[in-house]
Amino acid sequence: MTFVHLSDLHIGQDGAEEVDRDEDPRNELIEDCRRVIADLQVDVTGVLISGDIANTGDPDEYQRARIWLASLCQALGIPEENVWTVPGNHDFTRGNRTALWHNACDGLRQCEEGEIDAHLRSHLNSDDRHVLLSPFRDYHEFADGFGCVPEGPVQVWDEKFELSEDMQLRVFGLNTATLADGEETDEGDGLVLGENAVQLRRNGETFILAMWHHPLGWLRDESTARRYLNSRACIHLFGHEHDHCLSCEGGRLVVSAGALHPRRGDRPWEPRYNLIQLSPAGPTVADGLNATVVPRIWDEGQTTFTGEDGTPTVRGRDFLVGTGPTLKAEGASEGVHDGTPAVNAMSESYKETADDQAGGKVANRRRRLWLKYATLPFVRRIVIAGELGLLDESDRDVAGFEQTRLVLDRAAREDRLRELWDAVAAELGDEEIENPYASVTI
């Protein structure tokens, strides 16, 4: 599998779209991706973004990000929904805070470290959970189309990929930015994750890749987070500080992404991104996972992305991960496979044979429908759902992204996904695309 890893896009940082100098490096990144994947002769699986998609959290910034990501996915030869993202501090909209949010924030910052989870549960497991998450309202509208808004009170999403018949890669996305109101510092006195969030589920046939935004040193509960993440995830991806760093110790690969759009003038201006290739090192999980990281860096003189040596040569750094003493598979000691289909399982595929999904590409019709429906204007979503009888009176009181989930779930339960696909395709002018629900029974 091959992923493009981005962080700190800061869309809108350099101004409105018509005067945005950062648009040029973004477009050059697309062209560089074409060159790199052609050189490596690989199929790309998806795009992983470790936070700070927007600059101020404005809806227009997310719309610009969505359009650019669609162009990137087209260049990579993957569906638009093959993007996975977590929020950063720039995805936290300070104007959406309320007095109740400030009260919740104060409680989480002033309580004893051992009480953090109790406070989080009291907010995120209640009918008022939207209070603590209100600054992410616009980010959630963006991320919902990519299936990256956690459904439950624990602010973590996860996705499964088949590495082989007997091995999986499980990708977890964590939210370190819940309290990122600008008062947090790198001394760990402002942000929290909570122990529930880092208790990543695993079994004897799974490798775990975990992605978040802030380095762990920014967390109040750093020691708890580090203990779980170090022992359960063999790959760590994050961003925020705009420094690029690769390290591998004890069978664990740590990638500090660098920034696609660092702020100009603060330090040497070096936009970056990475390609990450993953493949089983042997027939069992105990053999580990081969990981190759291909760093790409902006060359100011050549005004394009190159390798770190400033040449067009595509070079990667190779690591063997998942083999440390706490990361080795231990059979059924952590439970057995729960039977949940992987994201590219055939039951939710456009294609009818596994041969049509070479290179680990995900072809998930529910993700595609979710993205297309979620990106429609809110009013058009209401009209379509209403005409299909997929709205409930109680939907008036939930956020748009939550309503999208409810509509998709009802359509699935009532076997109406085919009709919903047709209605959304007609709205978007995509009727020429074959309805994947037309010939497959779920």
| Rounded Cα gap, residues 273 and 255, in angstroms | 11
Residue 331: how many other CB atoms lie within 10 Å: 11
Q: What is the mean pLDDT of residues 269-275?
A: 89
Q: What is the pLDDT of residues 15-45, one digit of tens each?
A: 676 667 888 888 999 999 999 999 999 999 9
Taking only the tens place, the pLDDT of each residue in 104-123 is 899 999 989 889 988 888 88
Helix (H) or strand (E) holding 411: helix 400-413
Q: pLDDT tens for residues 160-179? A: 888 888 888 999 999 999 99
pLDDT over 70 at 416, yes or no: yes
| Confidence (pLDDT) at 198 | 92
Say if residue 252's pLDDT is above 50. yes
What was the pLDDT predicted at 353?
Answer: 42
Q: Which is more confidently placed, 74 or 393? A: 74
pLDDT of residue 171: 94
Q: Say what the pTM is.
A: 0.85
Is the model's pLDDT at 344 over the cut of 80?
no
* Angle, CA 213 vertex, CA 207 and CA 216 arms, to 5°: 80
**To 5 degrees, how large is the angle CA 256–CA 76–CA 89?**
35
Label residue 267 by pLDDT band (50, 70, 90). low
Q: 10 Å Cβ neighbour count for 164? A: 12
